């Protein structure tokens, strides 16, 4: 009779995954938690292949590509728990008129009053920005990137944040159920808006 569970958490990027013996690890673990968030952030500026362009940090297209990496080495999908982010990655755009995925950024946007971390906003902070102007300038209404299954807004004139809401999270839940994943997890529940 099993009395404890053992899990481990893995990134989505091939760059990191190539160093993991996933099947060897799963021989000792019950499942793997897949960090399907933080796919992009200000750290991309130092990456010669990605560069300083804004992209959704929970991009479902890239999550699917990552799942293919797991499948190629024989990891059963029911041993993967898909991680979902309850926060957004934020950037200061190089040019506020170029404000869609693929546009250049110059650095992180200022942190929110709760997170206090440049380049990160909790879902609650994002909802506050949508509801009330920041710096006297209202945010754009959320724009739905259907292919990536993320939303983003432009706020405070030149700040950009991508995030998941109930619509995009539902799409990711349906994807996970349809693929036969072992479950879902969130990072982190304290960043929700408590609605």
The residue among 22 and 134 whose pLDDT is bigger is 22
Residue 87 lies in a domain: yes
Per-residue pLDDT tens over the stretch 68-99:
999 999 999 999 999 999 999 999 999 999 99
Number of domains into which the chain is organized? 1
Residue 85 lies in a domain: yes
Residue 43 lies in a domain: yes
φ, ψ of residue 34 to 5 degrees: the values are -90, 120
Average pLDDT over all residues of the chain: 92
Domain membership of residue 139 as a residue range: 7-191
Spatial distance between the Cα atoms of 48 and 184, rounded to a whole number of angstroms: 32
Residue 89 lies in a domain: yes
Per-residue pLDDT tens over the stretch 140-191:
899 999 999 999 999 999 999 999 999 999 999 999 999 999 999 998 766 6
Please say whether the beta carbons of 10 and 24 come within 8 A. no
Name the helix (H) or strand (E) containing 126: helix 123-131
Residue 11 lies in a domain: yes
The predicted structure's pLDDT at residue 86: 94
Spatial distance between the Cα atoms of 47 and 43, rounded to a whole number of angstroms: 7
Cα→Cα distances 82→28, 64, 141, 163, Å: 19, 11, 28, 16
Return the CATH number at 52: 3.10.50.10
Give yes or no for residue 195 having a pLDDT over 70: no
CA-CA-CA-CA torsion sign (62, 66, 29, 74):
positive
Residue 2 lies in a domain: no
Residue 163 lies in a domain: yes
φ, ψ of residue 194 to 5 degrees: the values are 65, 20
Residue 1 lies in a domain: no
Q: Which two tokens stand for residue 145?
A: 């990137």
């Amino acid at each position: 009779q099993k009395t404890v569970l053992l899990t481990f958490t893995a990134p989505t990027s091939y760059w990191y995954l190539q160093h993991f013996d996933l099947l060897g690890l799963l021989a000792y673990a019950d499942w793997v938690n897949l960090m399907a968030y933080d796919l992009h952030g200000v750290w991309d500026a130092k990456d010669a292949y990605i560069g300083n362009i804004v992209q959704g940090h929970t991009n479902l297209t890239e999550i699917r590509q990552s799942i293919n990496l797991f499948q190629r080495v024989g990891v059963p999908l029911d041993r993967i728990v898909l991680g979902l982010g309850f926060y957004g990655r934020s950037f200061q755009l190089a040019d506020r008129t170029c404000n869609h995925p693929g546009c250049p950024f110059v650095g992180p946007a200022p942190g929110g009053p709760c997170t206090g971390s440049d380049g990160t906003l909790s879902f609650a902070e994002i909802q506050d920005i949508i509801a009330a102007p920041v710096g006297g300038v209202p945010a754009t209404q959320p724009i739905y990137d259907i292919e990536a299954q993320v939303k983003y807004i432009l706020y405070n004139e030149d700040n950009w944040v991508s995030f998941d809401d109930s619509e995009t999270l539902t799409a990711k839940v349906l994807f996970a159920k349809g693929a036969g994943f072992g479950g879902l997890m969130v990072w982190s529940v304290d960043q929700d808006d408590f609605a």
